[in-house]
Amino acid sequence: MTEMAANRRLEVVDVLRGFALSGLFLVHMIESYELYWNKPDHGPIGDTVYLLFMGKSFSLLALCFGFSFYILMERAARRGVDFTARFAWRLTVLFAIGFLHALIYRGDIIQLLSAMGFLLLLFHRIKSNRVLIAIAIAFIAQPVLILEVFAAASGSEWANHSPLHYQDPAMRYYLFGDIGEVLRANLWEGQWPKWWFMVEAGRMMQIMGLYITGMVLGRIGFFERLGDFARGRAIGLAVALVAAGVLWWWREDVVLWYDKFGNGEASTRQLRYLLGSWFELAGMSSWALILCAVYQSAARGILRPFVPMGRLTLTLYIAQSIVFVPVFYHFGLGLWDDWSQATRLGVGLAAVAGQMGFAALWLRAFQYGPIEWAWRALTYWSWDVPFRRPAAAAQ
């Protein structure tokens, strides 16, 4: 692999990561960092943002995480180093970073991504890509949700309980509490609705399937040799777009039709989660393949601004919460129910543009974002990790 090919591969993955971060941030802005769900105000702007990015951005980050895992393990293997223990420690450090971030914003996904990353160490030992693809499909198919649909319909007591993530004792602190109450709530009781939602809505199964898929894409050199997969990407994009269109147009009709048979609220709810999971997967795949196609075309330049964001994903993700949680929550400005959807979207888009500019300027002088650098230094237990770029340091 030439140096140019290596840089190009990493750049297209940074594009995906930066785009995913931008989409996730816009969802958070429309949600007023979760306070939207206390009093949902449906409208065309919010519904469009949710349609385009909700679940898709999160899934795209999971796919990139699986790919990054492969890159780290493969580079270490080329040096004759077993990176397993080091990667486990790297995940532990990342979980600690997520824990601190979750004190500010309980919707943090770093904890979940890092905790589930430990399973990659097991699947990495499977050498057959075909076996891994089969396992990924099994996860993505959501067998647990399928089982719950039929179990609830048959009257099984365990499948018909009220969802645990419906209980949210911490929301009152976000709406009316001071900073101390928010921090205390996010330390424990505020976290449970998030974790239960990830379990009950099938997010954990979906993430694991995407982790493995990202790892396989790394093994086959998908991102470093995009041109070699042009035909497969075109077919995949057509399938993903058709699947996304069908699920978007008919999934709610299917759910309503199913509900007429009297299978119960729980069974209908799990069917909605199941179809929603598949829709998110189809939407994420569409975005990923569209971005890869644009990157391979003469229009590549329009994606360049996402590259710096993709290299500072961790720093920017946490900075977004530090800035905007106080904007919406009661302990700060409390604007969650004052800003219209148009205002939230406008501010969000302006903030994305600002992050793009900031990241580009930052990377002119530094090799990593501050949190990325700290994560890397703690991973290797060494502060001797280059931070400033050589030219900037000389100046």
Tell me the residue length of the chain. Answer: 395
pLDDT digits (tens, 9 = 90+) for 272-282: 999 999 999 99
311 lies in some domain: yes
- Average pLDDT score over the chain: 94
The structural domain count of the chain equals 1
CB 379 within 8 A of CB 90: yes
In this predicted structure, what is the pLDDT of residue 1?
Answer: 41
Would the pLDDT of 393 be above 70? no
378 lies in some domain: no
161 lies in some domain: no
353 lies in some domain: yes
Rounded to whole angstroms, how far apart are CA atoms 2 and 224?
Answer: 10
Rounded to whole angstroms, how far apart are CA atoms 45 and 51?
Answer: 10
377 lies in some domain: no
66 lies in some domain: no
pTM of the model: 0.94
- At 171, list the tokens: 């929301």
> 356: domain range?
1-54+305-365
285 lies in some domain: no
pLDDT digits (tens, 9 = 90+) for 178-211: 999 999 999 999 999 999 999 999 999 999 999 9
Rounded to whole angstroms, how far apart are CA atoms 338 and 184?
Answer: 26
381: helix, strand or coil: coil
Q: CA 345, 348, 353: angle at the middle one, nearest 5?
A: 130
340 lies in some domain: yes
Distance from CA of residue 179 to its chain's centroid?
27
pLDDT digits (tens, 9 = 90+) for 41-71: 889 999 999 999 999 999 999 999 999 999 9
